[in-house]
Chains A and B, each alone.
Chain A
Amino acid sequence: MHELSLAQSLIDQLLDLAQEHKAERITRVAVTLGPFSGIVRDSFEFGFNTLKQSRKRTRHAVLELETPDPVYICLDCDKVSVIPFSLQNDPLDVTYRSLYPKKCPWCCLTRLSPKGGTELILNQVEME
């Protein structure tokens, strides 16, 4: 549930920016959520869209969320790979996910250590 506090701090940042740039309203907000940030995308989006209603300047803000694909380093062969999260609603994947852990595409071993990906970044704000 910390998504709500993060959404609130985003709204606060936006209000400050609107004031700084003398804008009447924020129209678009681009945010990057790192794949290992521990932030649930849907909850964050829901929190933002609820909280934005409380202020005139943020009411029309459209949130654009981007989550880069996760990057891992293999602790056995040291190679770095980008391994996307599985596709949602893929029945085969849902069935076998827990039976077959993620493997390094180079050496097929499973000691994949997450690399970076904890970022939560407000990239760009469009305002009028």
Chain B
Amino acid sequence: MCDTCGCQLHEHHHHDAKVVEVNQSLLAANQKQADSNRHHIEHMGAVAINLISSPGSGKTTLLERTIEVLKDTVRIGVIEGDIETERDADRIRAKGVAAVQLTTGGACHLDAPMVHGGLHVLEHFAKGGKYDLIFIENVGNLVCPATFDLGEHQRVVLLSVPEGSDKPAKYPATFRSADLLLITKTDLLPHFDFNMEESRKESLTLKPELSIIPLSATTGDGFQDWIDYLQALLQK
């Protein structure tokens, strides 16, 4: 230990040491790119939604149904994040809208520079590069994506009934970062011991102003509330 200042360094030369005050976020580089993505998206005429959830909670199915309802009136583009495969983008393309697949090759989340690349590709698919609504489907993961702003305008977190109502309490950072919580697969409520009250109470404790919409993409229950939310977003 250094006797002069008590630090843990063995070879310490105080005479030529220099201390620099930085006081900058570790995420500064990502944040800068995210802000420029937001600007880019607005220039494309669109609002963007970052969809976050565990794998298998219904992000892609939600998008398929949403596209079926909106595609005649709203210009939609989708950026898909996955570790491997083009499968999700193919499902979206089958619905007749432009989709870009980002494969992270192992990374557990999307970051702003990856989305930047995706936006440029997406731009080529539309007339004049214009969209109304861009969905960014994050890598299925309820932990890491929470930390990275992608340049979205709204962050939507999905919690599916089979996952269990204790998830907001267990993964607080993600639920706290959401603007809207969708409780999906509500048609399965009779088959699981999902406690709607618990999931509401715990996510509202984490974030009192959070909006919550329960829905089922299969039966269509509650789906109109989600469409209304999107329409209101597009009006802004």
Q: Which residues of A contact B (CB under 8 A)?
A: 1-2, 5-6, 9-10, 12-13, 17, 21, 23, 27-28, 31, 36-39, 60, 62, 75, 111-114, 118-128
Contact = CB atoms under 8 A, between A and B. Distances in A.
Interface of B: 7-9, 11-13, 16-30, 107-109, 111, 143-144, 146-148, 172-174, 176, 201, 205-208
Contacts of B109: 2, 5
A22 B26 CA distance: 21
Contacts of A39: 147
23 contacts: A2-B143, A5-B109, A6-B147, A31-B26, A36-B172, A36-B173, A38-B146, A38-B147, A38-B173, A38-B174, A62-B8, A111-B201, A113-B206, A120-B147, A121-B24, A121-B26, A122-B26, A124-B19, A124-B21, A124-B22, A125-B19, A126-B18, A127-B18
Nearest to A6: B26
A39 B173 CA distance: 10
Nearest to A26: B20
Contact of A36 (B9, B21, B148, B176): B176
Contacts of B174: 38
B9 A9 contact: no
A91 B223 CA distance: 47
B40 to A, nearest CB: 21
Contacts of A122: 22-26
Contacts of A2: 108-109, 143-144, 147-148
B87 to A, nearest CB: 23
A121 B24 CA distance: 6
